[in-house]
Amino acid sequence: MPQEVTTEQIFTVLSDNTSVNLMKTAYAGRLTSSNYVGKLSKKQFYTKLKRLCNTGLVEKRENTYYRTTTLGSLVYNGHVKTLEDALTNFWQLKAIDILKTREDFPADRKESIIDEIVKGSNLKNFINSTHL
């Protein structure tokens, strides 16, 4: 585990899809080179895994498999999963942005339409925590 890690270092490590997928696998269960399904050579696998370990996102457990650390789990749940959930609802979020810029709609009507758009999804949590 490194002494201190910066936000920039974490985002740099997670800047490629393969590293994000490795982190997801580590979060979901026991990541090993034999159970990871991906188009990586063994060297690529361990190079990316080492970067995740060096930033404190993943650690080796019981000398056989890798799991996310507490920091890794927080980053996964707070950023990776949240971003994936938001992107799944991209067009609903876009519709909310357009609606919020309309000045010809009464504010209470905007809120009821937004509530209807986010009904049945976890978007309400995202919308309430934004500055909009």
Beta bridge partners of 66: 31, 60
Q: Which domains does the chain have, with CATH numbers?
A: 7-76 (1.10.10.10), 89-128 (no CATH)
What's the per-residue H, E or C state across 24-58?
Answer: HHHHHCCECCCCCCCCCCHHHHHHHHHHHHHCCCE
The pTM of this model reads 0.76
Model pLDDT for residues 82-121, shown as the tens digit of each residue: 888 888 889 988 988 898 888 888 888 888 888 888 887 7
pLDDT in tens, 4-25: 999 999 999 999 999 999 999 8
